[in-house]
Structure 1
């Protein structure tokens, strides 16, 4: 993608968003599913265990 095309696309999207009413913005935000990872619910422990497991696999090889 050419830089000018990218700037044009970003500008168009920004203008569309700015022209939306507050109600449309709220509806759009409410329609998006919340993307919460496992870290949100269980903290850093699953991440740490995954890192240890990955490190252990690489040292065995």
Structure 2
């Protein structure tokens, strides 16, 4: 949904829908949804660079052990 093309009426409908969902959803379920969408701090701050370094180090370690 593009925010700059939304009319005021559409924006209010979206906002009210989010508020109603929040009020009707149990606290435990909201926590589960939040945890499932959460990404690790290293990915959030540095992108995929830490993941690529971890994969490289793992590959080198397994190569040395198997060698």
TM-score range, shorter chain: 0.5 to 0.7
Which whole-Å CA distance do the structure 2 matches of 1:2 and 1:36 have between them? 32
Matched, 1:37 2:45: yes
Which whole-Å CA distance do the structure 2 matches of 1:3 and 1:16 have between them? 20
Cα RMSD of the aligned pairs, angstroms, is 1.4
TM-score (norm 2): 0.48
Indicate which of 15, 30, 42 corresponds to 1:25: 30
Unaligned runs of 5+ in 1: 39-61
How many Å apart are 1:21 and its aligned residue?
0.2
Question: Structure 1 stretches (4+) deviating beyond 6 angstroms?
Answer: none
Unaligned runs of 5+ in 2: 1-5, 47-67
